Chains A and B, each alone.
Chain A
Amino acid sequence: MGTHRITLTVNRVQEVAEVPSNLTLLDFLRERLALTGTKNGCSTGECGACTVMMNGEPVNSCLVLAVEADGAEILTIEGLAHDGQLDTLQKAFIELTGTQCGFCAPGILISARALLNRNPHPSEAEIRDALRGHLCRCTGYVRIVESIQAAAKAGG
């Protein structure tokens, strides 16, 4: 298996790495950078737990090869808070119990951040639509939707 040198930005930090062709972005983040906040729920792009932001768009990192992320800007759950401040979404999820077991939350928070970036005042239907690719088995999605609404109201 060949390897490739990649250069990418992860949570505002530049990383240079030698990676095998078949290494997924998910495994690169979790195993090479120890960014284990991004979760693996199915390895097949169906559950959304591994969602990260790639150049501003949410992607299933289990379906992206690390080599495809060469030159990209990646944001994971670990980078959502910055300058010592939680993201508005994180604050809302804490306040309103936007997660229970917490396993799907990192992916959902990243997708919700992408949603609010492109649409600061989404309707409830638009929020639910943006969550289609995320499976949560604990919450019934009630408080996830409420948390995203509250974050939007608080200025995104």
Chain B
Amino acid sequence: MDEMKHTQKAPYPIGESIPRIDIHAKVTGEAKFTDDLPFGPGLLYGRVLRSPHPHALIKHINVSKALTMPGVRAVVTGADSDEHIGLYLKDRFIFCRERVRFVGDPVAGVVATSEAIADEACRLIDVEYEVLDPVLDPIRGIQPDAPLLHPDLGDYVVADFIQPKPGTNISNHFKVRKGDIEAAWPKCDVIVERSFRVPEVQHVPIETHIAIARVDQNGKITLWSSSQSPFAQRNLISEALGVSQSDIRVIAPYVGGGFGSKAGVSVEGMAVVMARKVPGHPVKMRLTREEEFFCSFVRQGLIAKTRVGATKDGKILAMKTEYYWDAGAYTEYGVNITRASGYSSTGPYNIPNVWADSYCVYTNHPVGGPMRGFGMPEIHWGIEQIMDIVADELGMDKVEFRLKNCLRSGDINVTGMKMHPIGLTECIQKASKAINWGTDEPASAPNKRRGKGLAIMWKAPAMPPNAGSSAWVRLNEDATVSLGIGGQEIGQGTFTVAAQMASAALGVPMDWIRISAPVDTQYSPYEWQTVASRLTWSMGNAIVKAAHNARKQILDIVAKYWDENPEDLDIKDGQVISYKTENSISIENIVVYGLPQPDGAGWQGGPIIGHGNFMPTYVTDLDNETGQGERAVVHYTTGCQAVDLEVNIETGHITILNIASAFDVGKAINPEQVRAQIEGGVGMGASTGILESLQFKDGIPQNISFMDYRIATAVDMPKKVESIIVEVPQDDGPWGARGVGEHPMVPTAPAIANALTAAVGVRILDLPLTPEKVFLALEQKAMTQGKGS
């Protein structure tokens, strides 16, 4: 930003750990989530009949019995909306037409006076299916004789950076061809090849998906939804239903956990289609916990095949990767996860020769969507383990190996982009030091073994090149500031950080800033989506511009009033001050009523409203055949996690004694909130690393309750979580800031896996590291050694 110099000390309250501004409401029960809103006695409830088959044709639907049930107001099917919907690839109907593609695919919806009646009526709908062979694995999905999920793939509308292969189940194929991989292998002294598997997991927000839609007599739509993407929802539903964006109003209260699952469109489309049948009535659609596990997005499964070659002095020369993404039945975001994993396929390493193929493959599994990390936790599971294996083969220390090969500022990365300033080496040094890397420490009991491991990571915001943000600041009589933003508070603290930035950029106390929430597409400024860890950086830039715009308007009228030069004036603590004349005046009232001109000659000024926007303009296309281009992404956030753990060799149980994380956030606007994000990411990373996998039998999900799908509780967490902030400024970030919301869960699982190997000498290539799997690996190792002796 023009007026910001990173060398200057950031103004108050930038860099201050201000308590969250939303937290008083959240600890008193005052905070309103979508299900807390009152809708009165006219409220109706929507429930959905879902496919019991992973893959089938719908031959016939009879809804007549359901329609005549008392309390039922309407029944909808695929016949009620015939346009495709989808973010990057429009491959989905809101309600299925002709074909179902996963267990849980919505076939019909019932609107009734209660959820119980709607559920009962769903059971009265007769559907005749012709069951088809399913695709239950992405490797099977790419075979030429595999059943096709989307025979019409070639007809779908698709973003220009996504490359589907019509006539196959491949919805995107992203390639990297850098250097000369074949010429490089013979020069390598060590070559390691491994396959890794990552299962599907669920985001598990504690608030399940919920949307309430109301369509008025003129067809105008209001949608209240727990959403990370109010504007994208408005846009996608608008395109699918042929309604103007301005005739759809999305109101988005606090979100009870998103982690990616509440980005894009899922239940909201169904709520709208159902509401169209009962004009004037709001229709509530809330997923049960059971539905949440398989009917909203899941994190995609992954099969990764990786080959890495290095010279004996420890330099990585070549890396070849194949990613087969289990994208599920449709690809709201999956095609772009496939792309992001391709252009990040080396991890944060400087490797001259790279070959990568990343395939997004339709399967008859739940819809793969974005989840915290957007493909990065999945690919780093393999990358960071194979790097440890290569270091072992070379006999090199793993910290030294990473320091030797990791990306540094100015290096050319996998897509040919010159790396901006990054602090990855500092992250590696600080995280490893925090767990006393290189020091062997004793286990706490004879049946336990102790080990240390680390993993590094990178992640860029994966989004269209022109994802934009905007903001406004409106000053009130008492000089409080209404801050309009379109970014959503999903728990990450964005309202607090937004207020800090507006306070600093405008020059008013922090507690004068009021966020104009809830986000409402009718009044709030446009924001692409609350995803990709992009708000602090992108929305932050828009807020700073808006605040500067208002500031300039205020200074101009006061300068005129004082007959001074605006350049000599500043706003500090809500007072306009002159450095030249030492004049000062409160901005109260003048920001609404203006100021009088001398001698009663009228007035000047008027109610102040400042506006600002931000959109990256420099992201370039990548070559379709080589994945090379000048600048693939806006920036990468990098970091390192180091784990000290114990393994109980009698049970296979892993106890994390200490996990130290260091992330280069550019500038921590609110350091305690950065640490809170790191702790939460570590928690989610450890939970998915040790406990979680969504299991299927013949395409039918098996563990769709908290009893069967365990997430970490307070007793499962690492004993010590240490968070270290590294600050190498981002050139186009507000005060140098870049995002960190997703990143802390990226390296956690592989860091645990590497420490596990250090502790007990077994290497597990398939997530998660359950006690059972660890125990069986130990048994296997003992048997193998027994044979050898």
For the complex, is B691 an interface residue (Cβ under 8 Å from A)?
no
For the complex, is B682 an interface residue (Cβ under 8 Å from A)?
yes
Task: Let me know if A78 and B289 touch, CB within 8 A.
Answer: no
Q: List A contacts of B682 (CB < 8 A).
A: 140
Q: Taking CB as reference atom, which chain B residue is nearest A94?
A: B23
> Complex: how many Å from CA A19 to CA B704?
31
Task: Let me know if A134 and B713 touch, CB within 8 A.
Answer: yes
For the complex, is B676 an interface residue (Cβ under 8 Å from A)?
yes
Q: Taking CB as reference atom, which chain B residue is nearest A90?
A: B27
A141 to chain B, nearest CB (A): 4
For the complex, is B38 an interface residue (Cβ under 8 Å from A)?
yes
Interface of A is mostly: loop
For the complex, is A132 an interface residue (Cβ under 8 Å from B)?
yes
Q: List A contacts of B256 (CB < 8 A).
A: 39, 101-103
Q: List B contacts of A42 (CB < 8 A).
A: 289, 705-706
> Complex: how many Å from CA A12 to CA B207?
28
Q: How does the 8 Å CB contact mask read for B26-43 relative to A, with 1 for contact and 0 for none?
A: 111111110110100000
> Complex: how many Å from CA A102 to CA B27?
7
B363 to chain A, nearest CB (A): 26
Instruction: Scan residues 49-76 of chain A and give those whose CB is less than 8 A from a CB of chain B.
Output: 49, 76
Would A137 and B679 be within 8 Å (CB), given that A102-B26, A128-B715, A129-B715 are in contact?
Answer: no
Q: List A contacts of B26 (CB < 8 A).
A: 99, 102, 105
Instruction: Scan residues 1-60 of chain A and give those whose CB is less than 8 A from a CB of chain B.
Output: 30, 34-44, 46-47, 49
Q: How does the 8 Å CB contact mask read for B449-491 relative to A, with 1 for contact and 0 for none?
A: 0000000000000000000000000000000000000000011
Contact of B491 among A81, A86, A100, A143 (CB under 8 A): A100
Task: Let me know if A138 and B257 touch, CB within 8 A.
Answer: yes
Would A78 and B29 be within 8 Å (CB), given that A94-B23, A135-B713 are in contact?
Answer: yes
For the complex, is A117 an interface residue (Cβ under 8 Å from B)?
no
Q: Taking CB as reference atom, which chain A residue is nearest B496?
A: A97
For the complex, is A145 an interface residue (Cβ under 8 Å from B)?
yes
For the complex, is B46 an interface residue (Cβ under 8 Å from A)?
no
Q: Taking CB as reference atom, which chain B residue is nearest A79?
A: B29
Task: Let me know if B19 and A94 touch, CB within 8 A.
Answer: yes
A132 to chain B, nearest CB (A): 5
Task: Let me know if B19 and A95 touch, CB within 8 A.
Answer: yes
Task: Let me know if A103 and B23 touch, CB within 8 A.
Answer: no
For the complex, is B649 an interface residue (Cβ under 8 Å from A)?
no
Which of A106, A136, A137 has the largest number of chain B CB atoms within 10 A? Answer: A137
> Complex: how many Å from CA A86 to CA B29?
12
A122 to chain B, nearest CB (A): 12
Q: List B contacts of A47 (CB < 8 A).
A: 206, 289, 706
Q: Taking CB as reference atom, which chain A residue is nearest B492?
A: A100
For the complex, is B362 an interface residue (Cβ under 8 Å from A)?
no
Task: Let me know if B207 and A37 touch, CB within 8 A.
Answer: no
For the complex, is A152 an interface residue (Cβ under 8 Å from B)?
no
For the complex, is B508 an interface residue (Cβ under 8 Å from A)?
no
Would A100 and B706 be within 8 Å (CB), given that A39-B256, A135-B713 are in contact?
Answer: no
For the complex, is A154 an interface residue (Cβ under 8 Å from B)?
no
For the complex, is B79 an interface residue (Cβ under 8 Å from A)?
no
Task: Let me know if B206 and A135 touch, CB within 8 A.
Answer: yes
Task: Let me know if A36 and B36 touch, CB within 8 A.
Answer: yes
Task: Let me know if B683 and A139 touch, CB within 8 A.
Answer: yes
Q: List A contacts of B207 (CB < 8 A).
A: 39, 41, 101, 103
A133 to chain B, nearest CB (A): 8
Contact of A101 among B25, B36, B208, B255 (CB under 8 A): B255
Task: Let me know if A139 and B676 touch, CB within 8 A.
Answer: yes
Contact of A140 among B27, B491, B721 (CB under 8 A): B721
Task: Let me know if B714 and A144 touch, CB within 8 A.
Answer: yes
Q: List B contacts of A98 (CB < 8 A).
A: 23, 27
> Complex: how many Å from CA A106 to CA B468?
35
Task: Let me know if A102 and B492 touch, CB within 8 A.
Answer: no
Instruction: Scan residues 253-303 of chain B and give those whose CB is less than 8 A from a CB of chain A.
Output: 254-259, 288-289
Q: List B contacts of A76 (CB < 8 A).
A: 29
Task: Let me know if B28 and A86 touch, CB within 8 A.
Answer: yes
Q: Taking CB as reference atom, which chain A residue is nearest B254?
A: A102
For the complex, is B211 an interface residue (Cβ under 8 Å from A)?
no
Task: Let me know if B289 and A101 touch, CB within 8 A.
Answer: no
Task: Let me know if B493 and A41 touch, CB within 8 A.
Answer: no
Task: Let me know if A41 and B673 touch, CB within 8 A.
Answer: no
Q: Taking CB as reference atom, which chain B residue is nearest A129?
A: B715
Q: Taking CB as reference atom, which chain A residue is nearest B255?
A: A101
- How many chain B residues touch the partner (CB < 8 A)? 55
Task: Let me know if A36 and B721 touch, CB within 8 A.
Answer: no
B290 to chain A, nearest CB (A): 9
Would A93 and B23 be within 8 Å (CB), given that A39-B33, A100-B676 are in contact?
Answer: yes
> Complex: how many Å from CA A44 to CA B293?
14
B294 to chain A, nearest CB (A): 15
For the complex, is B20 an interface residue (Cβ under 8 Å from A)?
yes
A57 to chain B, nearest CB (A): 19
For the complex, is B573 an interface residue (Cβ under 8 Å from A)?
no
Task: Let me know if B717 and A142 touch, CB within 8 A.
Answer: yes
Which of A42, A97, A131 has the largest number of chain B CB atoms within 10 A? Answer: A97
Would A103 and B680 be within 8 Å (CB), given that A37-B29, A77-B29, A138-B491 are in contact?
Answer: no
Instruction: Scan residues 706-753 of chain B and give those whose CB is less than 8 A from a CB of chain A.
Output: 706-707, 711-715, 717, 721
Task: Let me know if A40 and B27 touch, CB within 8 A.
Answer: no
Task: Let me know if A143 and B679 touch, CB within 8 A.
Answer: yes
Contact of A80 among B28, B32, B38, B676 (CB under 8 A): B28
Q: Taking CB as reference atom, which chain A residue is nearest B682?
A: A140
Q: List A contacts of B31 (CB < 8 A).
A: 102
Task: Let me know if B28 and A104 touch, CB within 8 A.
Answer: no
Would A36 and B29 be within 8 Å (CB), given that A97-B672, A132-B713, A141-B683 are in contact?
Answer: yes
Task: Let me know if A37 and B705 touch, CB within 8 A.
Answer: no
Task: Let me know if B714 and A131 touch, CB within 8 A.
Answer: yes
> Complex: how many Å from CA A139 to CA B678?
9
Q: Taking CB as reference atom, which chain B residue is nearest A81?
A: B28
For the complex, is B539 an interface residue (Cβ under 8 Å from A)?
no
Task: Let me know if A137 and B717 touch, CB within 8 A.
Answer: no
For the complex, is B24 an interface residue (Cβ under 8 Å from A)?
yes
For the complex, is B120 an interface residue (Cβ under 8 Å from A)?
no
Instruction: Scan residues 179-231 of chain B and give those whose CB is less than 8 A from a CB of chain A.
Output: 203-208
Instruction: Scan residues 77-135 of chain A and give those whose CB is less than 8 A from a CB of chain B.
Output: 77-78, 80-81, 86, 89-90, 93-95, 97-106, 109, 127-129, 131-132, 134-135
Q: List B contacts of A100 (CB < 8 A).
A: 491-493, 676, 680
Which of B32, B673, B683 has the largest number of chain A CB atoms within 10 A? Answer: B683
> Complex: how many Å from CA A109 to CA B24?
13
For the complex, is B22 an interface residue (Cβ under 8 Å from A)?
yes
> Complex: how many Å from CA A98 to CA B679?
12
For the complex, is B56 an interface residue (Cβ under 8 Å from A)?
no
Task: Let me know if B288 and A43 touch, CB within 8 A.
Answer: yes
Q: Which residues of A are in contact with B by a Cβ distance under 8 Å?
A: 30, 34-44, 46-47, 49, 76-78, 80-81, 86, 89-90, 93-95, 97-106, 109, 127-129, 131-132, 134-145
Q: Told that A102-B26, A139-B676 touch, could you supply 19 new A-B pairs with CB distance under 8 A?
A: A39-B33, A41-B207, A44-B289, A44-B706, A46-B706, A47-B206, A49-B206, A77-B27, A90-B27, A97-B23, A97-B676, A102-B22, A103-B257, A104-B206, A109-B27, A132-B714, A132-B715, A134-B713, A142-B717
For this complex, 29 residue pairs linking A to B, each with C-beta atoms less than 8 Å apart, are: A39-B256, A40-B35, A42-B289, A46-B707, A47-B706, A77-B27, A80-B29, A93-B23, A94-B27, A97-B20, A99-B23, A99-B491, A101-B254, A101-B490, A102-B25, A102-B26, A103-B33, A109-B27, A132-B713, A132-B715, A135-B711, A137-B204, A138-B680, A140-B686, A141-B712, A141-B717, A142-B679, A142-B721, A143-B679
Q: Which 9 A-B pairs have the closest CB atoms?
A: A37-B29, A140-B683, A101-B491, A102-B26, A103-B256, A100-B491, A77-B29, A36-B36, A46-B706
